[in-house]
Structure 1
Amino acid sequence: MLTAVFLRELLLALRRPTDALAALLFFVLVCSLFPLAIGPDAALLRVIGPGVVWVSALLAVLISLQRLFEPDLADGGLEQWLLSPHPLTALVAAKVAAHWCIACLPLVLAAPLLALQYGLGGEAVGLLVVALLLGTPTLVLLGALGAALTLGVRGHVLLALVMLPMSVPPLVFGCAAVSAGQQGLPAGASLSLLGACLALAAFLCPWASAAALRLALE
């Protein structure tokens, strides 16, 4: 059942490629506009590069989460999940994993090319990719919780208000890891904190999201 949920989300994304590519297009546009606006100040671009990439990734993830559970609510899929003998927490985790592959994995793959616009070195680019691999799943898990809490509410401003404060620690640790690499300092502490955030989110968010979905369907 979990594999079926995962594959179903991938097939739906293939049938609606515009929804899947919207976050990637936003990410690329925002990251590309900053160097054009700031100008050829290489030192300044290297300083702000990690922060711009991370904030762009955060906003792109937020855009992709606006319709995470709404289609399933509209077609009755969430009610079927509640009636399923499989744990709702596991079903939510499978859906979140599929969503990360659809919306966030392209962002991670595009990040090294976009980082070159900011003059980041090879070590900094590598740390940026590792940090995004650890941080974007955390953002998706937190966003899934926000989407479940705001399910059925018109407008998506509330989702941003719920998700953005919780996203501050991954954002700070991700930028700190890349900045440490640029300065020749060890980045292990920041990456470890990112991993701790991911472990905590993976443990709590699927359960909390499942509880929020049950409340929304009552």
Structure 2
Amino acid sequence: MIALLTRDLRLAIRAGGGFGLGLAFFLIVVVLVPFGVGPETGLLAKIAPGILWLGALLACLLSLDRIFALDWEDGSLDLLATSPLPMEGIVTIKALAHWITTGLPLVLATPLFGLLLSLPSGAYGPMILSLLIGTPALSVIGTFGAALTVGLKRGGLLLSLLVLPLYVPTLIFGAEMARRAAEGLDGTTPALMLAGISFGAMALLPFASAAVLRINLR
């Protein structure tokens, strides 16, 4: 398992689908928003939680098609399917590698990007916490979408269309948790809902992804 995780981390970085691409896209979104809505600090502070969450979601979406594509192209996925490792474990490692190279850097960069959007000082902790809770769900859901479209030519657009509707609940509760904190309100309810989505996705979707991969490999 550790060897597979290390291999996937190296492949993700070498193939250009690692933290650099996601962070660059995240930064572009954060920089362009003030040009679109104006430099007014009060307005930016109000929409900052939603913009940060949307930017993180789209940044995660960029590298989803690489989760299984490289292994499919060189035949490694067939070898992994016949290895002693269960397919559910392989899918989980793939999702973990995607989160480490994409989701975690976005979480760590959020305080800096929050400054660019005038995020209220009291919202930094809840904003980071919401992303820390919610981004694993993005990676697990994205892995399921990547398993559905593996082997399809030009499957990136189809993958986006499949995954984006599944991302909506995570986006809603993650942004709501940070928004309530920015306004000084209690964010416990959206935090619990967000945690429920993440734990539910991590508990169920690896089995669904493994089943889809077995079908595609036949």
TM-score, normalised by the number of residues in structure 1: 0.95
CA displacement at 1:123 relative to structure 2: 2.1
**Deviations 1:11-56, CA, capped at 9 Å, x for gaps:** 224444x331111111111111112332221111111111111111
Equivalence for 2:192: 192
Distance in 1 of aligned mates of 2:117 and 2:30: 9
Equivalence for 2:23: 24
TM-score, normalised by the number of residues in structure 2: 0.95
Paired letter, 2:136: P
SS of match in other structure, 2:186: coil
SS of match in other structure, 2:67: coil
Equivalence for 2:183: 183
Equivalence for 1:129: 128
Which consecutive unaligned segments of at least 5 residues does structure 1 have?
Answer: none
Structure 2 matches for 1:156-171, cutoff 5 A? 156-171=156-171
Distance in 1 of aligned mates of 2:77 and 2:13: 21
CA displacement at 1:122 relative to structure 2: 2.4
Equivalence for 2:214: 214
**Deviations 1:32-91, CA, capped at 9 Å, x for gaps:** 111233222111111111111111111111101121101101111111111112211011
Structure 2 matches for 1:1-218, cutoff 5 A? 2-16=1-15, 18-20=16-18, 21-155=20-154, 156-218=156-218
Runs of 4+ in 1 over 6 A off after TM superposition: none
Identity %: 41
Which consecutive unaligned segments of at least 5 residues does structure 2 have?
Answer: none
Distance in 2 of aligned mates of 1:11 and 1:79: 20
Distance in 1 of aligned mates of 2:166 and 2:12: 27
